[in-house]
Amino acid sequence: MRPTFLARLVNGPLFDPVVFVRLLNTNRAVLFDCGRFEGLSNREILALDAVLVTHAHMDHFMGFDRILRTILHREEPLHVYGPEGIRDRVIARLGSYTWNLTGDYHLEITIHEVTDHEISVCSVSARDGFKPGETRSFRRDGTAIASRVRYTVDGVILDHNLPCLGFVLREPFHINIRSGALADRGYRSGPWIGELKDKLLAGNMGDEVAVATGAGSIRRKVEDLVQELVVTSPGQTVAYIADIRASDANIGRIERIAQGVDVLYIEAYYMSDREREALEKAHLTARQASLIARRLGARKVVPMHISPRYHHRVEEVMEELDAAKNGAQP
């Protein structure tokens, strides 16, 4: 199965944790955290549909200004998700600049502030100088915090000596085109396949799609193309867990959203000889991260946010992760 979510750790295992996820066959992407990220191109930033912020410590949020500067002239909106206080922090960043020349700009930013029991939503636009509008609050049922055509997001509040969000990005279901099916019918690949997938994901089975052929294009109904070409399978899942203490409460909440996850990005800030310090500062050791991954049954584990003190000992951190794979449950 060709992956739909192409995820990468922007800064490697050291330094600020930032994960960029490109949505295949679209020009859209999702970003987990936005600390320092020189490894992202402006083209990648322009593709951002949503930024998922775990908390507002500098190494997780300082890059917001670069995102704003890069996307300021685009027409597509940006969604920002974060824990309690994220609205005021985004508004404060926007309020530190002068916007008297943006009256004909179209950018809109929608801020989604997530707590245990509700989501508060506030939109600001460049046209109005990013002045905050009305905030609407919705009661949360379950763990879902976002739903788009190509993905959904689950989130839980975790403890980092402050509220810190843990996220799982989900593909609703994976859409495969049968091998050889296009050629058998004289169809040619092209952007129409992405349009077909969007309409299928949205449930618009009666819509039509202009299908490319050797003789031009023909219009076909989505429901007919699905029968001819499509096989579906369970969608991908990507989890992002940064800056938490290894408490039973945190682990239980992570299990609610990330059981059996395909890819787990998880912090491994300390080695186990600093476990007491990790507990005090609400971070994970490499061993604890590995045991949580094992408890989740994660298919792939990517450690991140390793402390700079281990700059010359990264291999030791990785060895501790590997050694814990067959250890006791946390």
Contact 111, 124 (CB under 8 A): yes
| C-alpha Rg value of the chain to the nearest Å | 21
Dihedral of alpha carbons 40, 46, 47, 50, sign: positive
Beta pairing, strands 230-233 & 174-177 = antiparallel
Domain count, the chain: 2
User: Are residues 218 and 110 located together in one domain of the fold?
Assistant: no
User: Are residues 64 and 104 located together in one domain of the fold?
Assistant: yes
Q: Is the pLDDT of residue 168 over 90?
A: yes
Residues in a beta bridge with 270: 285
CATH assignment of the domain containing 43: 3.60.15.10
End-to-end CA distance of the chain: 33
Q: Is the pLDDT of residue 188 over 60?
A: yes
The span from the CA of 101 to the CA of 318, in Å, is 50
310: which 2 tokens? 């281990």
The span from the CA of 37 to the CA of 19, in Å, is 9
The span from the CA of 28 to the CA of 141, in Å, is 27
User: Are residues 32 and 104 located together in one domain of the fold?
Assistant: yes
Q: Is residue 12 part of a domain?
A: yes
User: Are residues 130 and 158 located together in one domain of the fold?
Assistant: yes
Q: Which of 190, 207, 233 is the last residue of a domain?
A: 233
User: Are residues 67 and 159 located together in one domain of the fold?
Assistant: yes
User: Are residues 209 and 310 located together in one domain of the fold?
Assistant: no
pLDDT for 3:
73
How long is the chain?
330
Range scoring the smallest mean pLDDT among 10-19, 110-119, 320-329? 320-329
User: Are residues 104 and 149 located together in one domain of the fold?
Assistant: yes
Instruction: Work out the pLDDT band at 306, boundaries 50, 70, 90.
Output: very high
pLDDT for 1:
58
Instruction: Work out the pLDDT band at 32, boundaries 50, 70, 90.
Output: very high
Q: Is the pLDDT of residue 302 over 60?
A: yes
User: Are residues 299 and 209 located together in one domain of the fold?
Assistant: no
User: Are residues 217 and 134 located together in one domain of the fold?
Assistant: no
What amino acid is encoded at 128 in this protein? D
The span from the CA of 173 to the CA of 219, in Å, is 25
pLDDT for 324:
79
- Domain of 222 in residue numbering reads as 174-233
Average pLDDT over the chain reads 93
pLDDT for 330:
43
250-294 pLDDT tens trace: 999 999 999 999 999 999 999 999 999 999 999 999 999 999 999
pLDDT for 198:
86
Q: What is the mean pLDDT of residues 182-208?
A: 90
What amino acid is encoded at 291 in this protein? L
pLDDT for 327:
62
Q: Is residue 130 part of a domain?
A: yes
The span from the CA of 1 to the CA of 5, in Å, is 12
119-158 pLDDT tens trace: 999 999 999 999 998 999 999 989 999 999 889 999 999 9
Q: Is the pLDDT of residue 329 over 50?
A: no
User: Are residues 21 and 71 located together in one domain of the fold?
Assistant: yes
Higher pLDDT, 321 or 78: 78
User: Are residues 93 and 201 located together in one domain of the fold?
Assistant: no
The span from the CA of 271 to the CA of 250, in Å, is 19
205-250 pLDDT tens trace: 999 999 999 888 999 999 999 999 998 888 899 999 999 999 999 9
User: Are residues 102 and 248 located together in one domain of the fold?
Assistant: yes
What amino acid is encoded at 4 in this protein? T
68-104 pLDDT tens trace: 999 999 999 999 999 999 999 999 999 999 999 999 9
